[in-house]
Amino acid sequence: MKNHVLRPLYTVIGLVVIVLIVRVFYVPKDFGVHERGYMYGWYRESNIEDWKKFGVKYKFDGDYCSGCHPLNHENIMSSPHAIIPCEDCHGPALGHPDNPAKLAVERSRQHCLRCHARLPYPTSDRANIRGVNPDKHNPDVECVMCHNPHKPSLEGLK
Amino acid sequence: MINRRDFLKNTAIGIAGITLPLAAFEIIRPEKILANMSGTSKTRWVFLVDTYKCVGCGLCVKACKNENEIPYDANVTRTWVERYVITKDGKLHADTPKGARDGFTTSRIELGQGKYEEIRDEDIIKAFFVPKLCNQCENPPCVQVCPVGATYQVPDGVVLVDRKWCIGCGYCIMGCPYGVRFFHPKYHTAEKCNFCYHRITKGLKTACVSACPFGARQIGNLKDPGDPVTKVIMTERVGILKEEYGTKPQVFYLGLDREVK
């Protein structure tokens, strides 16, 4: 065959070989077809472990806080707010009190209004939570100036 | 004479017409759900959402963003809550401002581009909230379309994204019929809910399940017959989203309405 045909052919074969060699080193050993076959199970297996190692931030353990903040715990447990996990209002607590030493304290009106802005929705439990009209119920004053978030009893108010 | 073009068109419409309603009205049969479960794993993670219990506080969305390091102010989120309001004139109003990260604190419906629609209390006939998250489908279309094997299904059913392997082509984002995928603003790779894989594999609940004060969200193992979530799925009237796509979603809903897409 003529040289001008063979030369490009060698180049192409050379390139394919290089790609194949690079692939052997670049693609990790654990990459391949796994239990669910080529369609759903073609992946790098160690990635599963990578995800398992992703950092947990929320403790969400009701009893954990009570040891050091017994009063807050006791108060809230005897109130309708007992169902709200502490970390919903104070942020992720993993590492506290070592680091972070203090947790956030969410005092904004917006936070209380997530549940207490009145929405009369007949087919949702939202309608069963006592609601206020944010524009009329003491606007511009933080809710926690008058209501104790850990013991939101209406007794003694007014 | 019917020409080729019309013939093909009519056939397509005819088939769509026959299959769609049948699929839409099919009742979920427990033994079918179990038969679908492939593989040797002893675990099949599933999710149960009770739409009656959801009050739209959005604390699940907040917890999810913090737990999974999704930039808090970016308008993307792994889970979100939709609001559906049906008024006396038969109209449906739906919104999810910021994915409900800050909950629903007003009865106005967000229309987008800074516009709002006022809804009068006395006009409401039905109104409810629907939390959404990845369905961890048994037949995930997002995985099928990935050209590099960067997204895949773990034998326990959860669909994960390999951030090192993802090339950011975006096929999976287009391929998901539920719109749960997006680009992570920091890593620029495909991102989605993975049932807090780092938590559930340590025996914890997902952040959204634990954050919900009302028990509207639950996670369970479908292969364990004693699991409370499994019991509900097997014995109560549960619905799934877009059944007609054949993706076999594994997030089940109590109190799903036909308005919910």
Q: Does A134 touch chain B (CB under 8 A)?
A: yes
Q: Does A107 touch chain B (CB under 8 A)?
A: no
Residue B8 has pLDDT above 80, yes or no: no
What is d(CA B228, CA B226) in angstroms, rounded to the nearest whole number?
A: 6
Give B3→chain A minimum CA distance, Å. Answer: 38
Count of beta carbons in the 10 Å neighbourhood of residue B96:
20
- Mean pLDDT in residue range A20-37: 92
**pLDDT confidence of residue A5:** 87
Chain B CB contacts of A57 under 8 Å are 66-67, 207
| Residue linked to tokens 């179990």 | B34
Give B24→chain A minimum CA distance, Å. Answer: 23
Q: Does A54 touch chain B (CB under 8 A)?
A: yes
Residue A39 has pLDDT above 90, yes or no: yes
What is d(CA A54, CA A77) in angstroms, rounded to the nearest whole number?
A: 32
pLDDT in tens, A129-146: 999 999 999 999 999 999
Q: Does B200 touch chain A (CB under 8 A)?
A: no
CB-CB under 8 Å, A119 with B127 = yes
CB-CB under 8 Å, B103 with A113 = yes
CB-CB under 8 Å, B154 with A48 = yes
CB-CB under 8 Å, B143 with A58 = no
Q: What residues contact B77, with CB distance under 8 A and at least 6 apart?
A: B61, B64, B65, B70, B99, B101
**pLDDT confidence of residue A132:** 95
Q: What residues contact B185, with CB distance under 8 A and at least 6 apart?
A: B71, B74, B76
**Nearest C-alpha in A relative to B212:** A84
**pLDDT confidence of residue B6:** 80
| Most A-contacting residue of B84, B210, B247 (CB-CB within 10 A), to test interface | B210
Which of helix, strand or coil describes residue A37? Answer: helix
**pLDDT confidence of residue B237:** 92
Chain B CB contacts of A124 under 8 Å are 51-52, 54-56, 127-129
Closest CA to B70 of A69, A123, A32, A57: A57
Start-to-end CA distance of chain B, whole Å, equals 40
- Integer CA distances (angstroms), B220 to A59, B44, B204, in order: 19, 8, 11
**Nearest C-alpha in A relative to B122:** A120
| Most A-contacting residue of B57, B65, B95, B197 (CB-CB within 10 A), to test interface | B57
Average pLDDT over chain B, rounded to an integer: 91
CB pairs below 8 Å between A and B: how many? 151
Q: Does A151 touch chain B (CB under 8 A)?
A: no
DSSP code per residue over A48-81: HHHHHTSPP-----HHHHHTT-HHHHHHHHTSGG
Percent pLDDT > 70 in chain B is 90
Count of beta carbons in the 10 Å neighbourhood of residue B184:
21
CB-CB under 8 Å, B58 with A114 = yes
Q: Does B108 touch chain A (CB under 8 A)?
A: no
**pLDDT confidence of residue B50:** 97
pLDDT band at residue B10 under the 50/70/90 scheme: confident
Residue B116 has pLDDT above 90, yes or no: yes
Residue B95 has pLDDT above 60, yes or no: yes
pLDDT in tens, B209-225: 999 999 999 999 999 99
Q: Does B210 touch chain A (CB under 8 A)?
A: yes
Q: What is the pTM of this model?
A: 0.91
pLDDT in tens, B243-258: 999 999 999 999 998 8
Closest CA to B65 of B185, B175, B164, B158: B185
pLDDT band at residue B36 under the 50/70/90 scheme: low
Domains in chain B (CATH in brackets) are 4-254 (3.30.70.20)
Q: Does A95 touch chain B (CB under 8 A)?
A: no
CB-CB under 8 Å, A124 with B128 = yes
pLDDT in tens, B155-165: 999 999 999 99
**Nearest C-alpha in B relative to A87:** B211
Q: Does A141 touch chain B (CB under 8 A)?
A: no
**pLDDT confidence of residue A116:** 97
CB-CB under 8 Å, A122 with B160 = no
**Nearest C-alpha in B relative to A90:** B63
pLDDT in tens, A59-107: 998 789 999 999 999 999 999 999 999 999 999 998 898 988 889 999 9
Give A1→chain B minimum CA distance, Å. Answer: 39
